[in-house]
Each structure stands twice: as C-alpha cells, then as structure tokens.
Chain A
Amino acid sequence: MYLQFAWRNIWRNTRRTTVILVAVIIGIWSMILLGALMRGIAEGMIKNGISTLTGHLQIHHKGYRSDPAIEHSITDPQVVEHALNKVLPSGALWASRVRVNAVASNARHSSGVTMVGIEPSSEANVSFIGAAVYQGRYLTQQDQNGILVGEALLDKFETKIGRKLVLMSQDTKGEIASRAFRILGVFRAEMEATEKQFVFVTRKASQIMLQLDTGISEVSVMLPGKPDNPNAISELKAALPQDQFEVHSWRELLPFQTAYLRILDGFIWIWYLVVFVAMGFGIVNTTLMAVFERIREFGLLKALGMKPWWILREVLTESFLLLVTGMIIGNILAFLSIYILSRIGIDLSAFAAGAEYAGMSRIIYPAIEVKDIIMANGVVMLLGLLVSAYPATKAARFIPVKALAHT
C-alpha cells in the first residue's frame, strides 16, 4: 500500500520528478562510467608495466635492485632454474635476461639505452617483445649480432633495418666493452619511452660482450591466473638461498603503479562525494518542496490518526522510489556506454605524450569492477535516504491544527 501510495505521489508533479530523476540518472551514470574508466586506466597501466619486462615476479641477485650493476648478476642460473621447476605451478612461464645500461651509437647519434639480452623463444611468452616486432623479424638463437630496436629509437637515430648500431657498456672486469650489432627488427610498444629505452639482443651475444659467461641479471616469471600470488613468492623465497637471491612481486617492482592504484581508490571516493553533494541538494530540495506543497494533506492525515512515524516512512518511500528508478535507468545507461566504449576504447594517441608520463596506455578500455558499482549505488541510496530524512521529519512534525489552517 505504501509503495503504491508513494509511487502515485511522486508522479503528481511529473515535471519536477522528471528533473530530479534526470539528476539522479546522470549522477549514477557518471559515477559508474568514471569509475570504470579509471579502473581501465589502472588496468592498462598494470598490464603495460607487467609486460614491459616486469612479469608477475622477478628473481635477482641480492643487491641488484638497489644497484643494478653488472657485479650483481646471477652467476649461477642453474640454481634458480632448478628452484623454479620445483616450486612453480604448472603453466608458469619464465625468461632469464641480461639487462644492463648501455650507450647505443651510430655515426650521427648516440643515446643511453637499456640493453636486454634475451632468450628469444622463452622471452616471447613472457613480455611484450614477442608480439611487438612489426618490421623486420624477431630474434632467433643464431642471431649473434642481431638487435631489435624501438620505432622511436630508429627515428631518432635516422637509421633503418640492416644498419649497424654500436653498443657500449661496462663488462664484468670494469672495462669498456663494445660490440657492433645489425638492426634486425623494429618493435612498437604502448609507450614511446619503452621504444626509446630498450634494445634487445640475444642473451648469448650480451654475455659474450660483457664477459658474463653464463651469468644473467634477472629471471622474470609469469604465473598462470591472477598477477598476485603471495604463495608462489614465499615458496620461491624458501627454495632459493636467502643470502644470494631476492624475489619481488610486481607490486614491489612497479612502485609508481602500485601507488597510483592506491590513490585511485581514494580518488573514486572523492568523485562519488562530489557527484553526490550536487545530487543530494537536488533531492533535498525536491522532497522539501513536495512536503511543503502538501502541508494541509499531511495535517489531514495526521488528524485522521496517522502516526508521525508513518508519515516519515511515507516520505522516505517516495524518495526511495525516486532513487531506485534513477538508479535502474542510470545503471542501464552506464553499462551501455561502458559496453560501447570497451568495444572501441578511448584513443588517447593525440595526447600520448601527456598520458605517457604516468605509464598510461594509448587506448583506454573501461573495466567494470563489481566493488565500484556496489559502492556507487550504495552511496547514492544511503546518502539519498539520509538527506531525505530531513524533509521527512519536517513532515512528520506538522501539528494538525496549524497544518490544516495553513493556506
């Protein structure tokens, strides 16, 4: 009876109700959509970060993280390999790399790069480089002098496939090592910075150049399923000698992205609050108007014996119905727009330079998280009812004689 009563009451003033309904719809829609977009950005960032030579977890020699010098390389990769085989769940993939800072130069240009010595076949499954070569070809085991460079680096160096690139770095004896490579392929990455920073050679070539023997800098692991797997990390830590190796999860390896994720949660809350404050005033205002319009009516109801509590409930039900209607439409709209956007994505290439500083992807695909949707709807419902409580108590407190005398 209440529901029917309230529903009819809402639509006594169609225009006013429609206006506030639109406000609620827009509010909900923007909350969910923006939340999804931000999640999308964050997911893109993490995916980027993980595929850009991070992996879900990494194993280094002790001290490498604080000083990534060649002296801190893993001299005995057998031990690590053994532990990985023993501990990791089936389906886990890993790749070992040599990673050092180097200087690339040709006749006209030179620039600091990170030389990554990779095992071509295992690396292809672990990081982005396997699928990123768009011109020329990917490395094979035999390419002792082949090198893969990013498109941006290629442009910067005014060079092309087949040309020479000389890399210089410090070898294990502290002397300057240099080696000539020929550009075999060009890769594209999500970020220009990645294209400029990394050059890929075979692991063997880098080991010969740096006199590393069989030494490597890091092992990067991709786990099946979710990126976070504390079990695998603790098991690996237990399986490897503590005094020689360090195991880090991607959260530790990508501190910036991790911090951003944390800020994001706070940010979404702030956005919800802002939207709600704007919406809340509309709700209070409308409900208050509806109440004041009906002073005589409420007086009469009270005179007929309706308890104040019932009147309170009546008014609250009205705003509840208003909110629910708005929410249903708002959610439907939001899901629709997210669906469309997740198909085409939001192309940020035009602002790529600006977006890149944060490690954002060029195209954003919104991502829905149940937590966000529940939160958005919950916030609107709870706070909506809370602010309607004010006009509702006002209505409940009318004194019948005065109310009936009200003109």
Chain B
Amino acid sequence: MKKNTWISLLAFVFISSSSPSTLALNANQLVEDSFNYVRGKASVSTVMMTIHRPDWQRKMTIRAWTRGQKESLFYIDAPPKDHGNGTLKKGREMWMYNPKVNRVIKVPPSMMSQSWMGSDFSNNDLSKSDSLLTDYTHSIIGTETDDGKNVYVIKSMPKPDAPVIWGMQRLKIREDLIWLSQEFFDEDLKPVKEMTTLEIQMLAGRLFPKVWRMRKAEEKGKYTLLNYKSLIFKSSLPDSFFTLANLRKPRR
C-alpha cells in the first residue's frame, strides 16, 4: 500500500517534470492550428464593426477576404461616407486606398502603430497578425473549462530579439481550436489590451465566434466589436485578388 503510493507519486513527479516539453510543443501546434482554424484556407466575410466610446458609438460594415495566414483585403461598405475605403495586407506590408482622392498609399512605418479606421485595432494588429506564430514561444500554463470543453491557457513570450512591443501575450484556446481570448501585456506584465470572443455558434459550417471584442485594459468604456454577419470559407481565392489593382477596383 505504502509502496504503491510512493511509486505513483514518483510516477506523477516524473510525468509532470517531463510534460512541459511535450506541452510546449503542443502549445505551438495548438496556436497554429487554432490560427488556421480561424482564418481557414481562404474566407469571405461581412463584418459589422462597432467602435464604442463612452459618449459616442459608430458602426461600419466591412467586407473582408483572407487567404492563408498573410493575405487579406478589407473594404468598407457602409456608412456611405467611408464607402470604398480599402486596405490590402500582404505579409508585413499594407496599402490603403481612398476612393475620394483615388489614391493608393503604402502605409509607412510611422502609421503602423496608429489605429485602423479609428478603431481599437492598430495597423500593426492587422499587418503583424501572424507575428504571434513566428515571434513567440508558447507554453501551456493552465487549463479551464468552458461550455464543457477544456480551455488551454497559453503563455506566449516573445523570442529575445523579436521586434514585438509586447512583453507577453496570454491566449485562451478551447480544445476544439476556438480562440477565446488574447491578452496583451507590457514588459511589466501589466495588461494593455484584450481581445475576447463571444457568441460561439455555427458559422459557415463550423463553430466560430460571432463577436470579437478588442478592449483597452485601462479604459473599460472604450472597445471595438467585430460582429460577423456572414462568413464563407473557401478552399482558395485567386492570386489576382490580393493585388493593388484589385484594391482600387470599385465594388458596388
């Protein structure tokens, strides 16, 4: 009896001490899988973006096309004032198109940290979205349960020389690869902002969070909501879609 407990305890210690490496490997895989799950091979969607401030609120309808981890094209449908504004993202680079002046500008480094269309997302959040996969090392630091499923809490530390501004990110990813939250911390590990997903439901044939919310940690009254109105996953989109020529093309 006594011997048995000793053995099981030893076994437990052994397992738990050897587990971090396998878990870390899993963590990287988990983040990448989950990232791919959200982005799909290619997707076409319509999103309602709500920018909320304590004293005002503004809604925009955005149509978005994405392909793989790196390419995306956004285009504002409504309100009419902003109709036609487009953003093309390829890799780390971004271009913006303004129909009023009929000009495409390449977003310069100086504008990368500014907010995108006045929202709580910065241009960097968009253009460096895959930086989470390349510039960080992930490790699972805990588990929770949500809706009867396991949720992995993942600590993502930037690699030593990675050009990222965050000191740490904390992700919560459900075992079925649904992204529950992403928190951004500064180097003192104080939270700066947080993205959470709500209303997980069937969209385009798979479970998908319908609402995404980006909120600054210090100002609870300010947030940006992304609400998926429609979403279709495709196996691919043509190369010609993610080009500057297509960015300028008027869309209804």
Interface of A toward B, CB cutoff 8 Å: 101-103, 105-108, 110, 112, 145, 159, 163-164, 166, 168-170, 175-180
Which one of B93, B161, B186 lies within 8 Å of A108 (CB-CB)? B186
A108:B192 contact, CB within 8 angstroms = yes
A106:B186 contact, CB within 8 angstroms = yes
Which one of A108, A159, A164, A176 lies within 8 Å of B112 (CB-CB)? A176
**Residues of B contacting A103 with CB < 8 Å?**
109-110, 112-113
Interface of B toward A, CB cutoff 8 Å: 92-93, 108-110, 112-113, 161-167, 184-187, 192
Q: Could you tell me the distance between the alpha carbons of A30 and B223 in the complex, rounded to whole angstroms?
A: 62
A106:B187 contact, CB within 8 angstroms = yes
Interface centre among B92, B108, B112, B113 (most CB of A within 10 A): B113
Interface centre among B93, B110, B162, B192 (most CB of A within 10 A): B110
How near does chain A come to B105, taking the closest CB pair, in angstroms? 13
**Residues of A contacting B113 with CB < 8 Å?**
103, 105, 110, 168
**Residues of B contacting A179 with CB < 8 Å?**
161, 163
**Residues of B contacting A169 with CB < 8 Å?**
109
How near does chain A come to B213, taking the closest CB pair, in angstroms? 19
* Inter-chain pairs besides A102-B109, A110-B113, A168-B110, 9 sampled, C-beta below 8 Å: A103-B109, A103-B110, A103-B112, A105-B165, A107-B185, A168-B113, A175-B93, A180-B162, A180-B164
**Residues of B contacting A105 with CB < 8 Å?**
113, 165
**Residues of B contacting A101 with CB < 8 Å?**
110
**Residues of B contacting A170 with CB < 8 Å?**
108-109
B contacts with A: majority SS = loop
Q: Could you tell me the distance between the alpha carbons of A107 and B113 in the complex, rounded to whole angstroms?
A: 10
Which one of A107, A110, A175 lies within 8 Å of B187 (CB-CB)? A107
**Residues of A contacting B110 with CB < 8 Å?**
101, 103, 112, 168
Q: Could you tell me the distance between the alpha carbons of A180 and B160 in the complex, rounded to whole angstroms?
A: 9
Closest to B112 in A: A168
**Residues of B contacting A177 with CB < 8 Å?**
109
Which one of A106, A112, A145, A176 lies within 8 Å of B165 (CB-CB)? A106
How near does chain A come to B190, taking the closest CB pair, in angstroms? 9
How near does chain B come to A67, taking the closest CB pair, in angstroms? 15
Q: Could you tell me the distance between the alpha carbons of A307 and B240 in the complex, rounded to whole angstroms?
A: 108
A180:B112 contact, CB within 8 angstroms = no
A107:B109 contact, CB within 8 angstroms = no
B163:A180 contact, CB within 8 angstroms = yes
Interface centre among A163, A169, A178, A179 (most CB of B within 10 A): A178
Closest to B160 in A: A180
How near does chain A come to B54, taking the closest CB pair, in angstroms? 20
A168:B109 contact, CB within 8 angstroms = yes
